[in-house]
Structure 1
Amino acid sequence: MDTSTRDLQAEVNKLQHELQALKVQHHSDDGEQITISEYLLTRLEQLGVTSVFGVPGDFNMRECPLPRVDYIEDHPRIDWIGNCNELNAAYAADGYARVKEHSIGVVVTTFGVGELSAMNGIAGAFSEMVPVLHIVGVPSTVQLKNKPMLHHTLGDGRFDAYTKAAEQITVSQATLMNKTHAAAEIDRILTDCITRARPVYLTIPTDMVAEKIPAKRLQVPLSRTPPPNDPDVEKYVLDRIAELVEEASKDIVILVDACAIRHDVRQEINDLLTKTRFPVYSAPMGKTAVSEAHDRYGGIYIGSISDPSIKDKVENANLILSIGALKSDFNTGMFTYSVPTSRTIELHSTHTQIRHALFPGIGMKQLLPKLTSHLRQFHEGASQLPVPHYKLDVPKEQDDKISHAFFWPRVGQFFQKKDVVVAETGTSSFGILDVPLPEQSVFLAQILYGSIGWSIGITLGAALAARDKQLGRTILFVGDGSFQLTVQELSTMIHSKVTPIIFVLNNKGYNIERHLHGMDRKYNDIVNWKWTSLLTTLGDTDGTLSNSYTVRDKAGLDKLLNDAEFAKADKIQLVEVILDKYDTPRGLQVAADIGEKLAKQALGQV
């Protein structure tokens, strides 16, 4: 099945759903009518959404008057989470969707000014394949047709300008211009959101929010099923992979990456590991796709940035089975993967590649269970392959100053089962990669898109989703420079009664930028804040809902991390960690060195 055939099959699936919905609606006895808003919220509830993020604005609040946001606030099982700005709201929806798998994130903004503010967050979700619904309140259908000079417009009659922008960063869009097609349009874009793991865009004119439509089609669940693989091609692919595994003397390594998480094949991978016992490693964006406590897990592979023992095991394997690869620069150690195509099999959501042969339309969701059956015969031989479990020891340093070499393995000892760990772009995301996380932990980092300040909003959404899923603590690591971009969302965290632990790495500026370029440039410096006053300033005015700390040395850090009350995380807590201005994690230093070398090569200087 080639790509065009697979797309056609996806359309057939949608039409089958629509036909089923129409049959249910046609045979309705009671003819119940509900508003378009109620229909949408019911669909979101069916998808497991319990929190909706956003900022109120006139086009999403009134139709003289229109209670658009009121529908959300009044919903008995969905909470309205009001954010400080639309960018943070989009980040929060991203974090919510990453943690609450099989659900989606939802952000609501107003027309123009609100949606444009959110678009950077939506673009990041698109880049990293996160299912987010962006709902935009827009002018009435009459105004959209007549194009008067309204506020929030560009003043030139181009009412579609924002939709055109949204088309670049969403996989599906809909504007509800009439009630007849409203339910089908909502179902269409939500199906695209959950099956393609990307953001979608829904605009609702002010005069459509309270329009009544039939409710019966809600009885037909949205389909999550991907298009089927062509059985003949799939059989060939399975047989060919088994042949290559045999030829490799069963010496194969499984490498998992981000798309294994985004396209919901964690369970299939775990089943593959259980029944075959092949060694498994992870790329940075795939961290925690497989439990890092698994006895066949060997660590993080990042090309030349990898620990030498991991690099040797992966690159010298006879065959690599890569699942859900996303080969961006930082995710591959600045493109330093040293595994030739001739020794690689890649499984993706929409295709499979065996060495140099591409098989469009053979998706991993349906392929993996059958592949497990084909490869389980190699269980005995694979079990004999050694998998040294990577461990990052706390170094014995002579001084009491907190270094990155000390900090990351030390906080690694603090983590617990089911913790949700968030790392900001830069220093934190590099520092924590080598730290093995406990069983059932969830790791979040925006390694591909890399939007500075992303992690604050993400932490809000992640903490709310973790509470829904009864996971453990939410723990954020963020640099002082990044924190200053989106710090306002601390107030929303306090208001929402989530209790993350936030480690602020205070190294007086943009550490990653210093090491990539401009070590002593003023543009990489920032104004220092009184970090331990933020929580009381931004919402906990009487100091009863939070605690703040500053740690300046190893002894202080040890004392805090060993404190049982601190570890309980029953309050929101902020820890300012004083680090040397020029100190940096090992991985970031190696990446910077590689980047500098590549830059010189491009300029013909080496």
Structure 2
Amino acid sequence: MTSDNTNSLSIGAYILLRLKQIGIDTVFGVPGDFNMPLLDLIEDDAELTWGNNANELNAAYAADGYARVRGMGAVVTAFGVGELSAINGIAGSYSEMVPVIHIVGTPRTASQKSGALLHHTLGNGDFDVFFKMGSMVTVAAANLTLANATAEVDRVILAAYTNKRPGYIALPFDLIHATVQVPVELPLLDFAASKNPVQVQEVAVKQILSAISEAKHPVIIVDGAVIRHGLQSAATDFVNRAGFPTFSTMMGKNAIDETVSNYRGIYTGAVTLEGVKEEIEMADLLIEVGCIKSDFNTGNFSYGFQNTKKICLNSHGTTIGHAEYAGVGMHELLPCLTAALPGLKHQAELSPRVMPAPIDTSSNQITHNYLWNKVPEYIAPNSIVVSETGTAEFGVANMQSPKGATFIGQILWGSIGYSVGAAVGAAFADRSRKVYLFVGDGSFQLTVQEISVFIRQGLTPVIFLLNNDGYLMEKLIHGPERSYNNFQMWDYSKTLEYFGGHLETNKSNGKNPSLIGLEAKVETRQEFENAMELVNQQPDKIHFLEVVMPEFDSPRELSLLCALSENR
């Protein structure tokens, strides 16, 4: 039954409509018998692409990478076996503040009510156990019924977006095509941030301005929450207007434009480049914007500001010294503070910016010192750089940033293998931007299956497989000679071939019949540079470079951090 003001819509179609309204055009996941009618709707929708991942864990990683570029992501799994495979990826999104909507196809409502002994269950009639697990790593969870479906879908999506955490929607099989009434002119979800309390914010601004006026050496640190809340432009405006020496963290890399004149580099406590560390720790006022004080992000909690006055602007409140201003979020405070700064820009006496050590020319091996100094020459502006936990993540930290680049890594959750799936999601999220994936050999062996998705979907990243023959980060922390830190060597440079990149049956799918570019194993610097020249001549192809590196060579930052980790 419909009226002049409402339309009849299936619950499955309603979920997809809401996903499309928030900018999602790709849904990741794996088919399962409890979710396939929803997949029919996805496949038949001209505005949506089914990610068709190799497994649910990779699908969750892909949704995370997609969300970091597009703002939100979505993944569909089956009940029990599928969602538990994905839960590590969803937990990572929760830890790292990434809004991913996890939709789980569950058994029919009647079967759940009767406690039927179904496949994919624990065999004890408990159909709530997986919902409870999912609820623990999401900010909002809903078990849909015919009566609550539209309201609950909206609630979960809003909560995920507002809190920058995942949301969980359990969709029973028999409700996918069940119809509900929705307004003909369905209002868009209201994602407007809540307003800060005016009087409290005014006091906070006055106190911050007072602290700035009294400071002789104020500095700014911009961190990862700025990126999660999409405040890069506001943060850059503040940094430009203030003129104070400005630093970012590893999680905050490119939270501001690194070409601004007062940007000074990455600060990671004791892991920081020595000259940068000396410069920032002279501060008598530290303004932290969007701070995330995790161990790796702070050099194992080695920040050196015990006697420095601190101001912390974050998403839900502001702290000035020991005073807390609840509800004064940085989304509104940051522009207000920028406008209220004195008319005369602070003129700090800045020496030339401290940079990483230049390339050591005493060897022709591809060392980390060489790689991270050289590779920025080949990365296009506005690219997406995805780095794996370990050598790549720490190598990227002080790498020169291409203009407009987005950096994706998992510094807090640190699940090895994350980068391969995340790169798939990032490549889907914006096909106009080149994706560069840096992944170690150990991490690659966990999630290598997603290479097949790159090829099938016509995605064209440049993949750098860093082959140092083992789990180097673990070796640096403990057991450098232990066999558990080693694994079977693969013929990595043939990866695209194995995953069907040259098979005629795959080329005929119409995605890209001539997709495969360079497939190479490089062991010397000249081989690397020759390969990268060829890569840049073919920007519309997928390239795979196996980069052979010395077994125990690592970025300076990783070596220092692992030494600190021994005392955790």
State the TM bucket, normalised to the shorter chain.
Answer: over 0.9
Q: Secondary structure at the match of 2:60?
A: helix
Distance 1:293 1:52 in 2: 35
Deviation at 1:392?
3.8
Equivalent of 1:323 in 270, 289, 294: 289
Asked if structure 1 preserves the Cα contact closer than 8 Å seen for 2:357 and 2:369, the reply is no
Q: Is the counterpart of residue 432 in structure 1 residue 403 in structure 2? A: no
Deviation sequence 1:156-196 (CA, Å, 0-9, x none): 01110001101110000011122x32111111111001111
Residues 308-347 of structure 1 mapped to structure 2, 5 A cutoff: 308-340=274-306, 342-347=308-313
Residues 159-198 of structure 1 mapped to structure 2, 5 A cutoff: 159-178=127-146, 180-198=147-165
The verdict on how the C-alpha distance between 1:341 and 1:155 changes in structure 2, with shifts beyond 3 A counting, is farther
Residues 508-587 of structure 1 mapped to structure 2, 5 A cutoff: 508-542=469-503, 544-546=514-516, 547-563=518-534, 565-566=535-536, 568-587=538-557
Asked if structure 2 preserves the Cα contact closer than 8 Å seen for 1:279 and 1:385, the reply is no
Q: Secondary structure at the match of 1:207?
A: helix
Q: Is the counterpart of residue 139 in structure 1 residue 93 in structure 2? A: no
- Which is further off, 519-528 or 118-127? 519-528
For 1:283, give the aligned amino acid: T
Relative to the length of structure 2, the TM-score reads 0.95
Residue 425 of structure 2: aligned partner: 461
Equivalent of 1:41 in 16, 19, 23: 16
Structure 2 runs not aligned, ≥5 long: 505-513
Distance 1:514 1:570 in 2: 37
Residue 30 of structure 2: aligned partner: 55
Residue 15 of structure 1: aligned partner: none
Residue 419 of structure 1: aligned partner: 383
Asked if structure 1 preserves the Cα contact closer than 8 Å seen for 2:240 and 2:260, the reply is no
Distance 1:594 1:217 in 2: 60
Residue 270 of structure 2: aligned partner: 304
Asked if structure 2 preserves the Cα contact closer than 8 Å seen for 1:275 and 1:376, the reply is no
Residue 363 of structure 1: aligned partner: 329
Deviation at 1:202?
0.1
Deviation sequence 1:122-179 (CA, Å, 0-9, x none): 000000000000000001111221111111000001110001101110000011122x
Alpha carbon RMSD of aligned pairs, Å? 1.6
Residue 261 of structure 1: aligned partner: 227
The verdict on how the C-alpha distance between 1:495 and 1:536 changes in structure 2, with shifts beyond 3 A counting, is same
Q: Where has structure 1 moved over 4 Å in runs of 4 or more?
A: none
Relative to the length of structure 1, the TM-score reads 0.89
Q: Is the counterpart of residue 77 in structure 1 residue 44 in structure 2? A: no
Distance 2:493 2:529 in 1: 19
Residue 212 of structure 2: aligned partner: 245
Deviation at 1:549?
0.6
For 2:463, give the aligned amino acid: I
Distance 1:422 1:218 in 2: 40
Deviation sequence 1:274-316 (CA, Å, 0-9, x none): 3322332100001011122222211110111111121122111
Distance 1:340 1:236 in 2: 25
Distance 2:398 2:106 in 1: 46
Q: Secondary structure at the match of 2:341?
A: helix
Structure 1 runs not aligned, ≥5 long: 1-25, 62-66, 600-606
- Which is further off, 274-283 or 420-429? 274-283
For 1:462, give the aligned amino acid: A
Deviation at 1:271?
2.0
Deviation sequence 1:429-457 (CA, Å, 0-9, x none): 01111112111100011000000100000
Equivalent pairs, count? 557
Residue 449 of structure 1: aligned partner: 413
Q: Secondary structure at the match of 1:509?
A: coil
The verdict on how the C-alpha distance between 1:567 and 1:355 changes in structure 2, with shifts beyond 3 A counting, is farther
Identity %: 41
Q: Which has the higher helix share?
A: 1
Distance 1:185 1:122 in 2: 19
Residue 203 of structure 2: aligned partner: 236
Deviation at 1:412?
2.1
Asked if structure 1 preserves the Cα contact closer than 8 Å seen for 2:220 and 2:244, the reply is yes
Asked if structure 1 preserves the Cα contact closer than 8 Å seen for 2:142 and 2:152, the reply is yes
- Which is further off, 37-46 or 535-544? 535-544
Deviation at 1:356?
1.6
Q: Secondary structure at the match of 1:59?
A: coil
Distance 1:384 1:541 in 2: 57
Residue 347 of structure 2: aligned partner: 383
Q: Is the counterpart of residue 207 in structure 1 residue 174 in structure 2? A: yes
Asked if structure 1 preserves the Cα contact closer than 8 Å seen for 2:360 and 2:369, the reply is no
